[in-house]
Chains A and B, each alone.
Chain A
Amino acid sequence: MNDTVLQTRGLTKYYDSTPAVDHLDLEIPRGCICGFVGRNGAGKTTAIKLMLGLLEPTAGSASLLGCDSSALTPAIRQRIGYVAEGHRLFRWMTIGALEKFQRAFFPKQWDDKLFREMIEYFDLPKKKKIKHLSNGQRAQVSLALALAPNPELLIMDDPTLGLDAAIRRQFLEGMIELIMRQGRTILFSSHILGDVERVSDRIIVIDKGVLRANCSLEQFQRAIRKVVLSFSGDVPGQVDIEGLLHCKRGDKQLELTLVGADDEKVAALAKSIRAETYNVVTMNLEDQFIEFTAPANHKRLFQWEER
């Protein structure tokens, strides 16, 4: 059995002269839960649509379950679940009608019991029309529709966008239900780093269409560090260290954001620039992501002047 379920090679998409996805090289192994993160307009949705063959790449290729994305056969699509951005479903249909419609495309693998249990768990009335459901309820229906056919690969485009904390948690629990089944792979894009932290074991970071990171969540969390160095005298003008992302100067302090600097490197740096003390600041995934994707010369929105 092939262990790579999703692969892209130099995947590129231009809209006129603007690159939305730029030479994306990815490999996602079977059985992992992959958080696909990036800022607004980073190219997540475009990349997902390219992977699913809904968009034509300008260059490069993508393959899902060993089949080229531009020619996904019905048999391969049957093995892939997809939750589209915004949970756009047919508004005039009732949940029951939508279930019947979806089941027709998965006659052998549709798990009636699972769908029923999810609908009951989410407390959704089957006779209610999609147009009368809230955003959160539509998300729940989308998830139930995507999970009931037991997909080998589930791709979700910002599934928790616009949902409140309680619904988001229920949604993630639904995802975990699928994760519990052996060999299932999930790729989901999200803005909410807390969600990624909670369920993912792998993280892909994309910024302005370019792949910035593709590693295990643990590796990512270990790699991004913030170090605050204190000085008794003047703060050095230039700091030369490999993996330096950002450098912020204070009165007697230097705040560095580093990638891939271990304890030894940090200690050596502190010594070389004659820092009196140094402190490695604990960062959560959201802070790490913001630091990692922030432009080098970023400014705060409100720069209050100290008087």
Chain B
Amino acid sequence: MKFAALFGKEFRECLPWMLLAAIVLLAFGSFFLRAQAYDMNPNRDWSRGYNPPGTAVEAYRLTFNSPLAMLGPWLFCCSIGLGLILGARQFWIPNFTRTWPFLLHRSARRTTILTAKLTAGSTALVLAIGGVWVSLYWYACQLEVFTVPPPARVFIHGWILVIMGLLTYLGTALSGLSEARWYTTKIFGIAFAVIIVGVTTGEWSLARALAVIAFGAALLLSQLFDTFATREF
């Protein structure tokens, strides 16, 4: 009940940003896919909702240069941007509104409060960016639009970008909690997340990318729990 109350409060605070990011990504993504589909298939009759016979696009062209994959930079920007915003909303804004004492003085452990915050923030990010990504993949898979579905690795790489947003979120949260000055260790959270994101972006092996992400997330999480337990509010 306590966790549910904390989660509900945190999720509600994330909701406007989550919806904004989802709407922007969904609107741009679907518009882009539709435009790409039209470019590749100019004879398509959109009013009928399916491809007329003899207008199929060659399969190899879509496999190696999927329109969905072209959305990567947009997905990356939205994911990183939402990660930054949610981290700031949950861990920086309370420093200015001075609501930490009210939140912390309640019959719940600090770890429970932090877990609720992180769960709500991560859920919001995954639902907004991941959810839209699944929708776009589904849309791109509709044979009526693209003739052949985008390859699964494009879908998986998209999820890596979603997870990069989570890393940014954790890094921003850590910087927000830090009481140090910017030019000292306060920058560590965001800087570390940026480094991990950079390393992962240049990493072509899925397994190695996941290993780097897992390492970064574990380090940021351990720092976050330690900082939250010992920080003065």
A: residues with CB less than 8 A from B are 49, 52, 54-56, 74-75, 77-78, 80, 82, 84, 86, 88-93, 100-102, 104-107
Contact = CB atoms under 8 A, between A and B. Distances in A.
Interface in B15-47: none
Interface in B138-184: none
Interface band, chain B: 20 to 34
Given A90-B13, A104-B5, 5 more contacts: A54-B105, A56-B230, A82-B102, A90-B99, A102-B106
18 contacts: A52-B105, A55-B233, A56-B230, A56-B232, A74-B107, A74-B109, A82-B102, A82-B105, A84-B102, A88-B101, A90-B13, A92-B12, A101-B8, A102-B106, A104-B4, A105-B2, A105-B107, A107-B1
Which 7 residue pairs are nearest across A and B when measured between Cβ atoms? A104-B5, A78-B107, A74-B107, A84-B101, A88-B98, A105-B106, A82-B105
A282 B133 CA distance: 77
Contacts of B1: 104, 107
A92 B13 contact: yes
Interface of B: 1-2, 4-5, 8-9, 12-13, 97-102, 104-109, 230, 232-233
A62 to B, nearest CB: 14
Contacts of B105: 52, 54, 77, 80, 82, 84
B232 A106 contact: no
B5 A54 contact: no
B2 A104 contact: yes
Contacts of A106: 107
Nearest to A83: B102
Contacts of A104: 1-2, 4-5
B225 to A, nearest CB: 16
**Dominant secondary structure at the B interface:** helix
Contacts of A82: 101-102, 105
A83 to B, nearest CB: 9
Contacts, number: 64
Nearest to A102: B106
B9 A90 contact: yes
Contacts of B102: 82, 84, 88-90
A44 B13 CA distance: 32
Contacts of B109: 74
Contacts of B230: 56
A89 B94 CA distance: 10
Contacts of A56: 230, 232
Nearest to B103: A90
Given A90-B9, A104-B2, A105-B2, A54 B232 contact: yes
Nearest to A86: B98
Given A54-B233, A74-B107, A101 B5 contact: yes
B97 A88 contact: yes
Which interface residue of A49, A54, A91, A100 has the most chain B CB atoms within 10 A? A54
A166 to B, nearest CB: 25
Contact of A49 (B13, B99, B101): B101
A88 to B, nearest CB: 4
A54 B8 CA distance: 24
B9 A101 contact: yes
Which interface residue of B2, B4, B99, B102 has the most chain A CB atoms within 10 A? B102
Contacts of B9: 90, 93, 101
Contacts of B101: 49, 52, 54, 82, 84, 88
Which interface residue of A75, A84, A92, A102 has the most chain B CB atoms within 10 A? A84
A82 B103 CA distance: 11
Contacts of A93: 9
A74 B13 contact: no
Nearest to A106: B107
A54 B98 contact: no
Contacts of A92: 12-13
Contact of B107 (A54, A55, A77, A84): A77
A101 B98 CA distance: 18
A78 B109 CA distance: 11
Given A56-B230, A101-B5, A104-B2, A75 B107 contact: yes
Given A74-B109, A84-B102, A91 B97 contact: yes
B232 A55 contact: yes
Contacts of A75: 107
B23 to A, nearest CB: 20
B196 to A, nearest CB: 31
